[in-house]
Copies of this chain bind each other. A is one copy, B any other.
């Protein structure tokens, strides 16, 4: 049990090093050394570095998105025709990710996922494609809950919320505010509640009366 499959050890090492030093800055030699495997093992098990990267993401991403869809399905089935409560929708969206953060290895993955939004290249496209159904479903749910918001307003607010979420996942040092060395680290559950409170208030904010001629639906 100390040494699982070479394939698994490679994925673990790659994920760890990707978080520590970034994907580009991590060489296959770093990965295989950390995994105590031969340099050629990556190309044997995955074919190439690119496919290793995709495998690192694929391992956790599909279950995560499936769970987000499942929770929304469940909520909408219970609710029938009535729109969901905003905080309930947000919690369904966020909970699977925050639960991943309980476990060290999945936590690394969440961190990697948070950073992905600001990555360049085709990798983002590929991951985003898998995320599109989740996005579409939750956006529709939010539209039903906040029908007074035009699609432009809602889109921007969702954009801001995604940013707050990604940043929370991506930046491990958490609270960047220094001051006294208090015990800042809250539980994941508590952090999620803070985020839900913040995002829900932002999403619910009254639309300011436009004083200029912007294209508002």
Contact = CB atoms under 8 A, between A and B. Distances in A.
A45 B205 CA distance: 50
Nearest to A19: B120
Q: Which bracket fits the contact residues of A?
A: 35 or more
A171 B205 contact: no
A158 interface: yes
B159 A186 contact: no
A26 to B, nearest CB: 10
A118 B115 contact: yes
Interface string A183-201: 1101101110111011111
- Greatest chain B CB density within 10 A among A115, A159, A189, A195 is at A159
Copies in the complex: 2
Contact of A204 (B21, B165, B200, B201): B201
Contact of A118 (B153, B170, B179, B191): B170
Secondary structure at the A interface, as helix, strand, loop or mixed, is helix
Interface in A83-118: 114-115, 117-118
Interface string A128-172: 100010011001000000000001111111111111111110110
A47 interface: no
A32 to B, nearest CB: 20
Interface of A: 20-22, 24-25, 114-115, 117-121, 128, 132, 135-136, 139, 151-168, 170-171, 174-179, 182-184, 186-187, 189-191, 193-195, 197-205, 207-208, 212, 214-215
